[in-house]
Amino acid sequence: MAVHVLLFDAGSDNEGIHSLELNGHTVVLLFEQQDDAERYAGLLEAQDFPVPTVEALAREEIELFCVQAGYEARFVPAGFLPQSAEERLLIAPPERNMDVGHWQSGGVPAEEEQPAEGEAERDAMEAFRRRLEGLL
């Protein structure tokens, strides 16, 4: 079964996969539907984040990659409805993102870039609320 992931600089030596930090874990999103992955990529672009490429990959292959890299793979099924603030991040990126320059250089983000505990969740909920209001 193919899933859709978001890649930065796809096919280059600097290729990277989009991930989230949730509760101390690096999470890679595996979208069942290409449209959902493209929508998520568009939301990242709206936040002035570099535009990722949506790539279809075998689910088993990407899950194996995640295990080997120490990441957690999270499947986002078609029609997914979040039940918590954390799950909302599976359909809408957090308002605050890490600088992608860190993955390219292998650096660690500065302490000031890390949101306070609970702040990221509040930011995500606020961003999600604004997006929903924008749809009305």
How many domains does the chain divide into? 1
Closest CA to 127 of 91, 99, 75: 91
pTM over 0.75: no
Q: How far apart are the first and last CA of the chain?
A: 35
Question: Does the structure show a pLDDT above 60 at 123?
Answer: yes
Token representation of residue 18: 């989009």
**Residues 17, 4, 40, 92, Cα dihedral to 10°:** -90
- What's the confidence (pLDDT) of residue 128? 63
Please report which confidence band the pLDDT of residue 102 belongs to, taking 50, 70 and 90 as the band edges.
very low
Q: Which range of residues forms the domain containing residue 14?
A: 2-135
Question: Does the structure show a pLDDT above 80 at 70?
Answer: yes
